[in-house]
Amino acid sequence: MRFFLKKPLVSALVILFIAGAGVVLFYITRGPMPKFDVIRVTESDLTQEVNFTGRVTPAQNITLALEVGGKIARVYAVVGQRVGANTILAELENAESLAQLAQAKAGVASARAQRAQYEAAFKTQEAKLRELIRGTRPEEIQLAETKVSNADKALADARTNLENTKQRAAIDLTNLYDGIEDIITDAHTKSDDAVRKQTDEMFTDDESNNPQLTFISSNSQAETNAESDRLTAGNALKNLKIELDAVSSLSTQSALDQTLNRSEAHLVIIRNFLTALYSAINSATGISQTTINTHKGNTNTALTNINTAAANISGQKQLIAAQLATNQTNIDVAQSKVTDSENVLRSAEDELLLKKAGPTAEQIDAQEAQVAQAEANIASQHALIAQAEANTKVIEAQIEKAILRSPIGGVVTVQNAKAGEIVGPNQPLISLISEAQFEIEANVPETDISKIRIGDAASITLDAYGNDAIFQANITAIDPAETIVDGVTTYTTTLQFNKEDERIKSGMTANIDIVTDRRENVLIAPQRSVIRKNGDKVLRILLDNGNIQERKIETGLRGSDGNIEITAGVQEGEQIIVSEK
């Protein structure tokens, strides 16, 4: 019994040994797992400071000048006046710069608004990409089928409407053409009355080829015209009767249009006859005035009737033309609705086919490109905003250069500025004597000199009193000529204390801190996490799945605390690699 139990036990021990050795060998050969120091991108305020040291010296009078030239707009200082630090003493005209500043600020606002649009577009494109990857849901296919059904019904309705419109157009036009026979009948009746009845007493042989007036006219030409036109009018009357007799047998609307035109021409001939007759009556001789008046009355009656008939024909032609135009418009509108409905149906059918087929790899790739483009637009807009903000700061600096401020508290001893005067840059204008007894002289390295300017406020600590005693001062002068100190190019900068303090002694070492720029609520990251690659600034992003993504970024202000502003390329909360352990 013991013999048969011992053999399986040995086998199990051997297997355990081999497995343990494999685990040990795996951990020995795989090498150390990489570890990183990571930090999340956060939103915070960022401050840039310049720090340097100087030495306390006895204070002297200072002479102030503007950095730029121009026309003095206003002068506020007078000799003997006591002024405080940062008090405006004089300023140049700067209306143009103020207008440029307003335009620059509007540019910043516009750029920010455009960024908001790009961010919204990015979210939209991301949502579309997620929708493509997810695929078509059954309810979406059902909705697409409903759209096809609705579009098909709308097309049927549009086609029915087109046929009804054509039928109504034909009926309306037929009604107008049906009225032509009555109009021609009326025209013939009025013409027959005018030619044969109203003028009958004025002619003899009026139905012959040589009608003659029953009176003599002193206007021989009018008399001749009246007699010849009577013959022409009689023929026109006969032709008008022919037109009337043929109306009922005409089968086309085009033929009826020609009948209207010819009938109108016959009426013109008859009207010309009556006009010529009236001229002859006006010059009639050998008959009484009563007869002349009767002839005139009959002729006027005839002319009125002929004009009425002609107006009826013309009016019917206009009604037909208007109806034709209306019909064409109505038909065009109905046809347009049919075309639109056909297009909508085709679009709905195509959409249904796409829904059933699902997204292709090409569509997903194209949508991913849209997302990338939207993200690139945001990054580009970040850069444009930074550029616009920088432009605003440049203009603000130009405006500030046109303002002469007192960098210290003191008393005005010289005032040479006059309103309206043209002054040049660095031209001495106003002198002050400091209220304080001491000032500070410091040599500022060339790497920091561009960050400070006259008038900047500074916090001072003196080695003699430690960091708890803080004094306030302002920069009053920056020497334009360099000074070499231990092989380093520096510029002598003078600061004056804002007020007198008995603790300050000549020769003391001063530690100077100046805030040169500030950003509020910006994305920040450690400066040492930013690496350069192929000329670009890059951050390494630790993704949720453990992979590392190198991402191009845009940067802004460098803070004095070791952080740097990130203007584009990352979002708040993303993990960035600072260093490898």
Which tens digits make up the pLDDT trace of 32-53?
A: 545 778 888 888 998 888 999 9
Contact 434, 89 (CB under 8 A): no
Q: How confident is the model at residue 165 (pLDDT cuts 50, 70, 90)?
A: very high
Q: Percent of the chain, pLDDT > 70?
A: 93
Neighbour-count burial of 66, counting CB atoms closer than 10 A to its CB (0-12 exposed, 13-18 middle, 19+ buried): buried
CA-only gyration radius of the chain, Å: 52
Tell which residue, 515, 448, 514, 501, has the closest CA to residue 56. Answer: 501
Contact 49, 451 (CB under 8 A): no
Q: How confident is the model at residue 27 (pLDDT cuts 50, 70, 90)?
A: very low
Q: Report residue 191 as tokens.
A: 């013409």
Q: Report residue 129 as tokens.
A: 């990409």
| Helix (H), strand (E) at residue 248 | none
- Give the whole-angstrom CA distance, residue 252 versus residue 150: 42
Which tens digits make up the pLDDT trace of 127-150?
A: 988 888 887 788 888 998 999 999
The total of other beta-carbon atoms located within 10 Å of residue 83's CB is 21
- Give the whole-angstrom CA distance, residue 90 versus residue 79: 13
Q: What is the mean pLDDT of the chain?
A: 88
